[in-house]
Amino acid sequence: MQPISEVRQALLRDYFPRIADLRNQVHVTAWSDHHLISQPLLDLLPFGRVFSPTSFYQYTDFQFPNLVENACRNLLYWSLSGARGFDNNPATQITLFFDETFFWHYYVPAKAQEIKENLQNGLRVRFLSRFHLLQTQIEVEFNEIRLLSDLGVRTGLSQPRQPDRFVFTDSKEYTYKWTNRFWEISIHNHEFVLINPNVFTLPISEPNALGREVIYQEQLERTLQQPDDFRIDAQYWGSVDSTPATTELNTPALTEHDASPPTFDSCTCQIDLCSCDYRYPDTPPTPPDLQFWKPFSTPEPIRGIHFQRS
């Protein structure tokens, strides 16, 4: 019988042939005293780029099941490999963040015009800000880019027009508990103003590349070569099974996207995306914590649209 160490080595070779060293990643920062995770898990974490509304829901609809599977496999990898922390206890958790230098000083400038156009058209632009894996649950957090525009006019100050500036806000957090086996959704920011928001955080003003400018540029080129989606594709929702709307008005409030989008004939909606261009008749006012947007016309919330899921 083979020693247990040889058995583990064979399992690692067979089931985990690709391992990523987080110290070599410039688009991701890690809060952990161990630095190895499976490459398939890292591939499912699109740090360092943005989501349009369509690509965001495509990610949560179709990639979250893969994310759960690979996160679970990564826990197995830590166990088999004997990964340990600084206190010599087995590795049990890790937290990954987007790298601020790469995101704000490399990627965003390269996509600035597209991001600005989406915000001006009333379309949310999200990005993956944090991923936390531990033995009890997975946490996936998103932030939003928003725009400060014409600050001199907005504040009424007699000063030259200030250049437009991107800022970011909290958005949503998804939590998957291994015991429950479903995603819980928390919305951390209900403000729908995408230009000149009231509450926001300023990005870092100076890059901190630490002499790795060439590596940052190489990562940017790889990121820009990946498939991108800044357009609202009206045909996307036709590929997702929808739950018909009901007339009941006493069901719990929506958490935004905990199921497939409901339909009003040819109209489909999310909390921040509506493909219809008309008001559905005889519906009660929209609850204050829900905002539906019309991406194909005037960039403003649709008033008087409300729906419930069965």
Q: What is the DSSP track for 6-41?
A: HHHHHHHHHH---EEEGGG-SSEEEESS--EEEHHH
Greater model confidence, 117 or 265 = 117
Residue 137: name the closest of 106, 167, 175 by CA.
175
Residue 295 has pLDDT above 80, yes or no: no
Co-location of 210 and 251 in the same domain: no
Identify whether 214 is part of a domain: yes
Rounded mean pLDDT of 154-161? Answer: 54
Task: Name, in order, each residue with C-beta under 8 angstroms of 303's C-beta and a sequence gap of 6 or more.
Answer: 279, 285, 286
pLDDT at 267: 53
Co-location of 193 and 267 in the same domain: no
Identify whether 299 is part of a domain: yes
Co-location of 37 and 127 in the same domain: yes
* Domains: count for the chain: 2
Co-location of 41 and 86 in the same domain: yes
Co-location of 179 and 289 in the same domain: no
Co-location of 8 and 112 in the same domain: yes
Confidence category of residue 133, pLDDT binned at 50, 70, 90: very high
Co-location of 245 and 182 in the same domain: no
Q: Which domain holds residue 109?
A: 4-224
- Verdict on whether the full-model pTM lies above 0.75: no
pLDDT at 138: 97
CB 185 within 8 A of CB 203: no
For residue range 38-47, list pLDDT tens digits in order. Answer: 999 999 999 9
Co-location of 202 and 252 in the same domain: no
Co-location of 202 and 127 in the same domain: yes
Co-location of 153 and 45 in the same domain: yes
As a whole number of Å, the CA-based R_g of the chain is 22
Q: Name the domain boundary from 224, 252, 278.
A: 224
